[in-house]
Amino acid sequence: MPGWLYALSQCGLFVVLFVVFIVGMGLLKEWRTMQFRCLTLVASDIQLCQPGDKREKI
């Protein structure tokens, strides 16, 4: 692998992580509002899949 390609891949990795971080911070408020709804859906799926197993219940 050429040196410039290696450096470009490393820089691209940091850029992708930075963009993901910014997007995550931007969606943090919306995620908090949807958190309980998502947990409810997950709990419903767990209860439907394993109604007798109480270990997965939060």
pLDDT tier at 12 (50, 70, 90 boundaries)? Answer: confident
Per-residue DSSP letters for 29-53?
A: HHHHHHHHHHHHHHHHHHHHH-TT-
pLDDT tier at 4 (50, 70, 90 boundaries)? Answer: confident
pLDDT, position 11: 79
Residue range 29-53, pLDDT digits in tens: 776 666 666 666 777 766 655 555 5
Segments making up each domain of the chain, as ranges: 3-49
- Token output for 31: 């995620």
pLDDT, position 7: 82
Closest-CA residue to 11 (of 3, 53, 45): 3
Top pLDDT among 18 and 9 is at: 18
**Vertex 41 angle, CA 39 and 47, to 5°:** 100
Half-sphere exposure of 12 (CA within 13 A, CB side): 6
pLDDT at 15 over 70: yes
